[in-house]
Amino acid sequence: MNKKALAIKCLKAFFIGLILLLLYAPILLLAVYSFVDTDTIGMWGEFSFTHYIKLLGDSVILKMISNTLLLAFLAALLSTVLGTMGALGIYYSKRRTKAALSGASQIPIINAEIVTALALAITFVVIGLGKSYFTLLIGHMIICTPFVVLSVMPKLKQMDNSLYEAALDLGASPFKALFGVVLPQIIPGVISGFMLAITLSLDDYIVTSYTKPSTFNTISTYVYNATMKGNAHTAEVLSSFWALTTILFIVILGVTLAANLTGGKKKERTK
C-alpha cells in the first residue's frame, strides 16, 4: 500500500473515531457517574454501586423498564411489518396512490407529538376505545411506521425491478418471488427501519401519556413527570437510569462483538 492510500485510510479512521467520540461523550459521562454516589451530574462524589443496587433492587423501576422494552419491541415489530408492506405497496402503486400515501405517511412525522397525541386521544374517545394497551400500541405504531416506510423506500428504489419479473418467468409464484427475491434486497432497509422504530418507541413520552392505560409507566413517562415536579426520590430513580445506560451499552457491545466475530466473513460474500 502506498503512502497516499495509507494516509487516506488513517484520515477516514480518524474521522469515524472523532464522530464516535462526540456521540459517546455524554454516554461515557453517564457511565462514569453511574459509579459515583451522587444524584446530580457535575458534582463530586465517591465510587459506589448505589445506583446499580437501586436499579436492580427496586421492583417498580424494573417493571417500568420491562414495560418500556416489551412495548418498544412489540410496537417496532408490528410497525416494521406494517411499514414494509406499506412501502412495497406504495412502490408498486400508481402515481396518484403513491403520492397520496406518501403524503399521508409523512403527517405523523411533521406533526408535533402533542398534536398527534391529542388528535388520537380524541379519536379514540369518539370511537369508544378509551385508553388501553391496545391504544398505546397503536399510538406507538403511528409514530414508528412512517419511519420504517422511509427506511425501506430507498432500498426499493435502488432495487433491480427485473429480478422480480425474472423470478415469475422462471415459474415462481408471486408470493415466492416477493419473499425470495424482493425481500432479501430490501432487508437492510427493513432492519434499519426496525432499529429506528425501537428508538422512537423507547423515547416517546407525549403520545404514550395520552394513550396508555392509567397505571402503566414507561421510563420516558417517569423521566418527564419527574422533571416537572421532582424531589429527592425522583432524583434517585433518575440516577439509577445511568446504571441502566451502562448496562445496556455493555450488553449491546458484547452482543454485536460476538455476532460480528462469527458472522463477519459471511457478510463479505453477499455484497
Q: What residues are paired with 47 via a beta bridge?
A: 36
Q: How far is the CB of 221 from other proteins (least distance, A)?
A: 8
Q: How far is the CB of 63 from other proteins (least distance, A)?
A: 14
Burial tier of 74 (Cβ tally within 10 Å: 0-12, 13-18, 19+): middle
**How far apart are alpha carbons 76 and 140 in whole angstroms?**
8
Amino acid at 199: T
Q: How far is the CB of 159 from other proteins (least distance, A)?
A: 8
Q: How far is the CB of 161 from other proteins (least distance, A)?
A: 6
Q: How far is the CB of 201 from other proteins (least distance, A)?
A: 10
DSSP-based three-state secondary structure for 192: helix
Q: How far is the CB of 55 from other proteins (least distance, A)?
A: 13
Cα 154 → chain centroid: 18
Long-range pairs of 60-65 with CB within 8 A, sequence gap ≥ 24: 61/237, 61/240, 63/217, 64/217, 64/218, 64/219, 64/222, 65/219, 65/244
Q: Among the residues of 111-231, which ranges form H helices?
A: 113-127, 133-158, 161-169, 174-177, 183-203, 206-211, 219-228
Q: 177 to each of 61, 87, 95, how far by Cα in Å? A: 47, 17, 23
**Grid cell locating 91:** 412502490
